[in-house]
């Protein structure tokens, strides 16, 4: 029987024999957060974070993570200016990821991450976090990895991080290879300057069930999940069409139906997973009311209670009548 494929065994094929820092520190590198319009939900390989379906996202411009690495006398992880306890889940994940490159006995490091988005609130900070960490590792150890490798390795930290290496629209192709090296994200050339994303913050507290456990539970227990890969494949096609034609109605309808289909599979899991809070539902009702009144606004939602609005610049004033405290992002600057 062949050995099971591990992250370590895949990455080792692409590293020099000796991985050591090329400087005592590197300045912070940035990776944007991203929001999927066609979601990644379900893994065909849990070790390598290989998805069951391809996904497509939009990056959030200046919102994301800045990560620096420096030589230190012991491993330490800092998040938003505060040292994180070494046995904390976040710190362990960060150090385990670095060990994939420097090995378990490599020189200790200090990792310093600043997120300008709320951590673990369904705003995908693990995506920008692992993408920025991957870029920082690449610089700190002078690896000079190609973009496809950076995306594949960031994916091993967190699936959605594969897409956070790029700005704009990004497609993560699921790939078919067993080692996952064709499961990488690629940027789309298309811009959509008038596209806007609005963040409706329902609750920025840490969520109870993270996306990783949520999707694994859904795949394992929800019969409804069977329909998901078909839905995702059809939605991906529609999104490509919408982007090529600048058809905002098609983009918004597809993204909203995709998100609700994903949530339907979670609700059908056991124990059930419902990330919605009363305010999430209230926001959905408001969006549907606004649409009925002629304002073209749609939403998407990840594994958390927050709602992300999709609209175009010409409707911004009208959308703000319904959501006065909205944070608005122009993904194409
Ligand atoms: C609902 O990328 O956080 O946001 O690969 O286990 O780290 P892991 O999961 P993660 O899942 C993101 C799920 C999602 C949809 C998406 O961003 O595509």
Taking only the tens place, the pLDDT of each residue in 276-291 is 999 999 999 999 999 9
66-91 pLDDT per residue, tens: 999 999 999 999 999 999 999 999 99
Q: Is the pLDDT of residue 248 over 50?
A: yes
Residue 55 near ligand 1, beta carbon < 6 Å = yes
Q: Residue 188: what pLDDT?
A: 98
Quickly state the pLDDT bin for 181 (edges 50, 70, 90). very high
Q: Is the pLDDT of residue 4 over 90?
A: no
> In this structure, are strands 298-300 and 76-79 parallel, antiparallel, or unpaired?
unpaired
List, in order, residues 6 or more apart from 38 with CB less than 8 Å away: 53, 54, 55, 56, 232, 235, 236, 239, 254, 255, 258
Residue whose C-alpha is closest to residue 131's, from 155, 97, 101:
155
Q: Residue 177: what pLDDT?
A: 97
Q: CA torsion angle for 151, 154, 159, 164 (degrees, to 10)?
A: -60
Ligand 1 centroid – CA 316 distance (Å): 28
Which residue's CA lies nearest to atom 9 of ligand 1? 212
Residue 191 near ligand 1, beta carbon < 6 Å = no
CA distances from 55 to 21, 160, 253, 321, 326 (A): 34, 9, 16, 32, 26
Q: Is the pLDDT of residue 270 over 90?
A: yes
Q: What six digits make up the tokens of 279?
A: 């305010």
Out of 6-20, 96-110, 111-125, 272-286, which region has the weakest mean confidence (pLDDT)? 111-125
Q: Which atom of ligand 1 is nearest to the CA of 38?
A: 18
Residue from 65, 160, 197, 218 whose mutation best tests the ligand 1 pocket (most atoms within 8 A of CB): 160
Quickly state the pLDDT bin for 120 (edges 50, 70, 90). very low
Angle separating helix axes 89-102 and 125-140, nearest 10 degrees: 30
Q: Residue 206: what pLDDT?
A: 63
24-78 pLDDT per residue, tens: 999 999 999 999 999 999 999 999 999 999 999 999 999 999 999 999 999 999 9
Ligand 1 centroid – CA 297 distance (Å): 24
Q: Is the pLDDT of residue 118 over 70?
A: no
Residue 212 near ligand 1, beta carbon < 6 Å = yes
Residue whose C-alpha is closest to residue 310's, from 238, 254, 260, 236:
254
Ligand 1 centroid – CA 47 distance (Å): 14
Q: Give the count of beta carbons closer than 10 Å to the beta carbon of residue 189.
A: 8
DSSP-derived 3-state class of residue 39 = coil
Q: Residue 201: what pLDDT?
A: 85
Ligand 1 centroid – CA 253 distance (Å): 21
Residue 261 near ligand 1, beta carbon < 6 Å = no
Which residue's CA lies nearest to atom 14 of ligand 1? 302
Ligand 1 centroid – CA 42 distance (Å): 9
Which residue's CA lies nearest to atom 11 of ligand 1? 211
Rounded CA separation 283/52 (Å): 30
Which residue's CA lies nearest to atom 3 of ligand 1? 211
List, in order, residues 6 or more apart from 248 with CB less than 8 Å away: 195, 242, 296, 312
131-162 pLDDT per residue, tens: 999 999 999 999 999 999 999 999 999 999 99
Residue from 159, 260, 263 whose mutation best tests the ligand 1 pocket (most atoms within 8 A of CB): 159
Q: Which atom of ligand 1 is nearest to the CA of 210?
A: 3
List, in order, residues 6 or more apart from 329 with CB less than 8 Å away: 60, 61, 63, 196, 197, 198, 199
């Amino acid at each position: 029987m062949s050995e099971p494929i591990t992250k370590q065994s895949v990455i080792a094929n692409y590293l020099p024999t000796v991985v050591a820092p090329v400087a005592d520190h590197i300045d912070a590198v940035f990776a944007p957060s991203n929001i999927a319009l066609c979601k990644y939900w379900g893994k065909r390989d849990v070790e390598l974070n290989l998805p069951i379906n391809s996904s497509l996202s939009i990056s959030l411009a200046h919102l994301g993570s800045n990560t620096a690495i420096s030589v230190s006398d012991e491993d330490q992880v800092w998040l938003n200016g505060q040292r994180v306890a070494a046995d904390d889940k976040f710190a362990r994940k960060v150090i385990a990821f670095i060990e994939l490159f420097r090995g378990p006995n490599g020189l200790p490091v200090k990792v310093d991450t600043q997120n300008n988005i709320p951590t673990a609130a369904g705003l995908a900070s693990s995506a920008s976090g692992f993408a920025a960490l991957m870029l920082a590792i690449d610089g700190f150890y002078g690896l000079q990895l190609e973009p496809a490798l950076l995306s594949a390795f960031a994916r091993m930290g967190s699936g959605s991080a594969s897409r956070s290496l790029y700005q704009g629209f990004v497609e993560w192709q699921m790939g078919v290879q067993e080692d996952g090296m064709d499961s990488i994200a690629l940027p789309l050339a298309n811009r959509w300057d008038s596209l806007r994303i609005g963040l409706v913050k329902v609750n920025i507290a840490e969520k109870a069930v993270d996306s990783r456990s949520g999707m694994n539970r859904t795949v394992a227990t929800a019969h409804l999940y069977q329909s998901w890969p078909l839905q995702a494949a059809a939605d991906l096609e529609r999104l490509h069409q919408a982007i090529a034609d600048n058809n905002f109605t098609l983009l918004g309808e597809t993204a909203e139906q995709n998100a609700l289909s994903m949530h339907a599979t979670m609700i059908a899991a056991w124990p059930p997973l419902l990330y919605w809070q009363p305010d999430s539902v209230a926001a959905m009702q408001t969006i549907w009311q606004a649409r009925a009144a002629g304002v073209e606004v749609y939403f998407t939602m990840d594994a958390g209670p927050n709602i992300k609005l999709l609209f175009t610049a010409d409707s911004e004033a009208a959308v703000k009548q319904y959501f006065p405290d909205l944070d608005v992002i122009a993904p194409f600057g």
